[in-house]
A and B are shown apart, each in its own frame.
Chain A
């Protein structure tokens, strides 16, 4: 409807409730979709003139028989003002500027083809249908809505810490550990080398001393054995000497003893009468023979 009327009515009834009054007139039904249907009648249900809703608390139409001339004048002035405002507004709207001197605005077709502009909205039917038996797509990740405020920060170089200073203790520990291990190993080897060197020197002396000791032992042994042997030799010598002297003594004694032997033997034999003249003895025995002392004679012969 005409907005002017509305405003008029609003301006008039400044109580705040809606009021609308206008002269009755036949309203043509608005054509929406149908072109050819002449509508001569309006549906009661859709008639705007019919009051709907609660009727108990409505104000009675402030229709007075003869409107106040003051009221009418005020309305006319408001109307004029509205028109003026509208004109001013239209003037201020930018329109195509006036053609320059000697030129004329001409309507020009920009498109290649003429296009009919009509009220009819171009409709296109589009269909969409999911494939039958599709796999259920994976549940989209639940990303909880972001809450809170976004805050950003940027750390500039050199703000957090100074790298060179901070890294020093770590480097020291790392390198310290490595060097410590290396030192340990080197010390181990050195210790072993020292141990061996000491041992070799000691071994040298020990071997020399040991050899000396054994040599002296050996020497001692040899000397002792030599002494033993010589002693034995000497004692044997002495023994032999003794034996020899004893033998000599015995021989001498025996000689002397036996030197006297022969004369004494002969004399005793002569004394015993063994040396006899056989003829004489024969004669003697012959004389005894008969006397029978043969036994005595045999005894003597035995001796």
Chain B
């Protein structure tokens, strides 16, 4: 009787040694002889859904071969094991060197939905590492991912959009997304997708708009965003306002925003309960009122009182954007007239904790008190 049976701790079930020795003796040819295997029963497989990972250096090359196997189960198990390994940046680096991305691109078009889900998850985790992002750009994974835009399975699309969102946070990644002409399809998807995925798309768009906004404007993004501004979900409202902020940076954007009469809606959002929504709405107003027509539209929508209220808000971003928007409005004579009465409010912000806010307040005072 040996203790070795009870040594395999977490990996074995609570088998008494009696079973092991019984097994040993029930194999007659082994009776009285030593042999390598302790028991005829193999140790229980903790997770049969994962492929066995080889030791050390061989782990990833073996998984690479398994990914190309024609058998479905092997591919699925290899992908599940890969999902765990890819959290480590070193593994990501090694995987990219071994050429995993080509195999994964091929697997994106697999028939089985589990394979596609897991592949998109692996790509999403890889994108959250810098090496992964570089690899994506080098191997052109973004166009391959975009083939899944119309995938019937929700999880695949969600993972894909998550990957896009992370890529869009990086300037080079955003360039990659813009170059693959994805913006128009993304904008159109805003109308039809689930809420969760819409949030991801909005984040992706706000990242890409820093690079180029014309494509989005051409697809009529502003009207879609105007609808989203009145969405019941807080996150979608704030993200839509953020995208509007980005879209109204170029001149065409400002004109279209004025054209579609988004400014009154933004003014109404200034009184929203969520600080993010208020901040983004004030920012969008700030950008949209740079043009004269925008200024007059805002003045006619009565933007000044809510903005004045926001100058004292708790969040620094709200204060900053509100002061800036008021600065824009005070360049118009009517605005200046109204704001001359409230200059003290701005003086109060001169010693604000955030340096940007105090600078903005100084500029605002200068503009308000400017005499032609």
Q: Which of B1, B87, B166, B317 meets A204, CB within 8 Å?
A: B317
Contact B128 A192 (CB under 8 A): yes
Q: Which chain B positions have C-beta within 8 A of A218?
A: 290-291, 331
Q: A215-B327, A219-B331 are in contact. Are A208 and B356 (CB under 8 A)?
A: yes
Nearest CB in chain B to that of A161: its residue: B3
**Least CB separation from A166: chain B residue:** B7
Interface string of A114-152 (1 = CB under 8 A from B): 000000000000000000000000000101001000000
The chain A residue sitting closest to B251, CB to CB, is A214
Q: Are A214 and B87 in contact (CB under 8 A)?
A: no
- Does A184 lie within 8 Å of B88, measured CB to CB? yes
Residue in B9, B128, B327 whose beta carbon sits within 8 Å of that of A170 in the complex: B9
Q: Does B115 contact A (CB under 8 A)?
A: no
Question: Which A residues lie within 8 Å of B292 (CB)?
Answer: 222
Q: B363 contacts which chain A residues (CB < 8 A)?
A: 212
Judge if B28 is at the interface, Cβ distance under 8 Å. Answer: yes
With A167-B9, A192-B128 as contacts: A215 and B321 at CB distance below 8 Å: no
Residues of B near A215 (CB, < 8 A) are 290, 324, 327-328, 331
Nearest B residue to A207 via CB reads: B283
Q: Give a binary string over B360-371; 1 marks a CB under 8 Å from any A CB, 0 the rest.
A: 100100000000
A160 and B3 form a contact (CB under 8 A) = yes
Q: Which residues of B contact A181 (CB under 8 A)?
A: 84, 87-88
Q: Quick check: A211 and B87 within 8 Å, CB to CB? A: no
Interface size counted on chain A using CB atoms at 8 A: 33
- With a 10 A CB-CB cut-off, give which of A181, A191, A208, A219 has the most chain B CB atoms: A208
Q: A143-B28, A214-B290 are in contact. Are A195 and B328 (CB under 8 A)?
A: no
Q: Answer whether A211 and B328 are a contact pair too, CB < 8 Å, given A155-B1, A204-B317.
A: yes
Q: Does B163 contact A (CB under 8 A)?
A: no
Contact A211-B287, Cβ < 8 Å, known A174-B10, A181-B87, A188-B129: yes
State in angstroms the CA–CA spacing of A67 and B279 once bound together.
Answer: 153
| B249 at the A interface (CB under 8 A) | yes
Decide: A211 and B286 in contact? CB cutoff 8 A: yes
The complex places the Cα of A146 from the Cα of B32 at a distance, in Å, of 9
List the count of A-B residue pairs having beta carbons below 8 Å apart: 76
Q: Roughly how many angstroms separate A79 CA and B1 CA in the complex, as a whole number? A: 68
Least CB distance from B248 to A in Å reads 10
Q: Is the CB of A208 within 8 A of B321?
A: yes
Task: Tell me if B2 and A214 are in contact (CB < 8 A).
Answer: no
Contact: A199 with B169, CB < 8 Å?
Answer: yes
CA of A188 to CA of B91 in the docked complex: distance in angstroms? 14
Cα A227 to Cα B316 in complex, Å, equals 37
How many residues of chain B have a CB within 8 Å of chain A?
36
Q: How far is the CA of A215 from the CA of B323 in the complex (A)?
A: 13
Flag if A211 contacts B290 (CB, 8 Å): yes
Q: Is B3 a contact partner of A212 (Cβ separation < 8 A)?
A: no
A interface footprint on B196-219 (CB within 8 Å = 1, 0 otherwise): 000000000000000000000000
A47 within 8 A of B: no
Asked if B320 is at the interface of the complex by the 8 Å CB criterion, the answer is: yes
Q: Footprint of A on B, CB under 8 Å?
A: 1-3, 7, 9-10, 28, 32, 84, 87-88, 125, 128-129, 166, 169, 245, 249, 279, 283, 286-287, 290-292, 316-317, 320-321, 324, 327-328, 331, 356, 360, 363
Query: 27 A-B Cβ contacts within 8 A?
Result: A141-B28, A143-B28, A155-B1, A163-B7, A166-B7, A170-B9, A171-B9, A181-B84, A181-B88, A188-B87, A195-B169, A204-B279, A207-B283, A207-B286, A207-B321, A208-B320, A208-B321, A208-B324, A210-B287, A211-B286, A211-B287, A212-B360, A212-B363, A214-B249, A214-B290, A215-B327, A218-B291
Residue numbers of A with Cβ under 8 A of B are: 141, 143, 146, 155, 160-161, 163, 166-167, 170-171, 174, 181, 184-185, 188, 191-192, 195-196, 199, 204-205, 207-208, 210-212, 214-215, 218-219, 222
